[in-house]
Amino acid sequence: MDFLKINGGHGEGGGQIIRSAITLSCITKQPIHLENIRKNRKNEGLKAQHLTAIQILQKISKADVIGAKIGSTELKFVPGNVENLELIEDVKTAGSISLILQVLIPVVSISQKKLSLIIKGGTDVLWSPSMDYTQYVLKEAYSRMGIEFSIEIIKRGYYPKGNGEVKLEVYPSKIKSLTLSKRETNNLKLKCTFSKISIDVIKEKIEMIKEKISKANFNVEIEIKEEEALDSGASLLIYSIDKNSIIGIDGLFDNKKQNFDLDFEKFNNSLGVDESLADMLVVPASLGINKTVFQVKEITEHLETNLFVTSKITGCKYGIGKTSEGFEVIIQGVSNSSIK
């Protein structure tokens, strides 16, 4: 067996390497051997959300897998043929559903297949995009790239119990190139969902955020919804969409500080995409026929690592150029011969 070896400790050495590697392994039919998984993390090795993603991909692609267990620092993944499936899955923790969907959506869609999935776990948790970010920001970007999916958030799930529930439908696609240069609109949307927290506290904190938004000369449309969950929690998303930009920033309510952990300046300073979306565009962009181009304020170590791993598996070419306001990322895709 001809395995492509990938050092899971490269660069920022986190979970993104795992997600990109197994995603592209399934799409390109390239067996991979991941070593030093999450080596740079305090608790190294596979976590529950990584394991769930691997196990679902194993079912979808009839893959042979060695090393798929919690804490494993080594994984061999040999994909078969991706199939249409209907599945019900449970992370059994507050592990991030959105990070799992980042793996499943490109694999199924780019492989020209369909997936119907009901999954339980964490919908709005730390170190992960919220489900609203996935539904309103990632969905918009992927749709422009030809990747179509729909999400229904049945129940929210916060840390520590999780138990959120999401229904996902993924449809066959043909990848398109994308250019996102700079935001032109000054119209924003703010969405907030909460459970077991005083509505007065939520409204007070959002009013403070609204003042920051107004001072930055943006118009904002606000939606606040109470959605029952096992644990107390709240999630907030601010986003803007126009022809040349897709930008979002989300944050969770910190119960100790009694405030949202949200850096509005990052949103305000974003160019064509926010730094989280930049990461998520790399995998599909690497498999398109033409160039995908986007502008970002900063090149994160996360993005650099993802570009390196993706290019190693697909053979795509990429470049990063300095601009007067930030950086331009260019990814020249390769239309993979295994994608029919």
Query: Per-residue pLDDT tens for 128-141?
Result: 999 999 999 999 99
Q: Please give the residue that has the higher pLDDT: either 43 or 175.
A: 175
What's the CA gap between 250 and 236, in Å, rounded?
5
Domains in the chain: ranges and CATH? 1-80 (3.30.110), 187-269 (3.30.360.20), 273-340 (3.30.110)
The stretch 59-69 carries a mean pLDDT of: 95
Nearest in space to 278 (alpha carbons), one of 324, 323, 242, 247: 247
Per-residue confidence band for 236, with pLDDT thresholds at 50, 70 and 90: very high
Residues annotated as catalytic (active site), given as ranges = 302
Alpha helices by DSSP H, listed for 229-270, are: 264-269
Stated pTM of the model: 0.94
Ordered DSSP codes for 106-153: HHHHHTT--EEEEEEEBSS-TTS--HHHIIIIIHHHHHHTT--EEEEE
Nearest in space to 143 (alpha carbons), one of 113, 112, 170: 170
Report the pLDDT value the prediction gives residue 340, as an integer from 0 to 100.
Answer: 34
80, two tokens: 């078969």
Q: Give tens-digit pLDDT for 263-292.
A: 999 999 999 999 999 999 999 999 998 999
- Asked if the model's pLDDT at residue 333 lies above 50, the reply is yes
Alpha helices by DSSP H, listed for the chain, are: 15-28, 48-61, 97-110, 131-133, 139-144, 199-215, 264-269, 275-286, 301-314
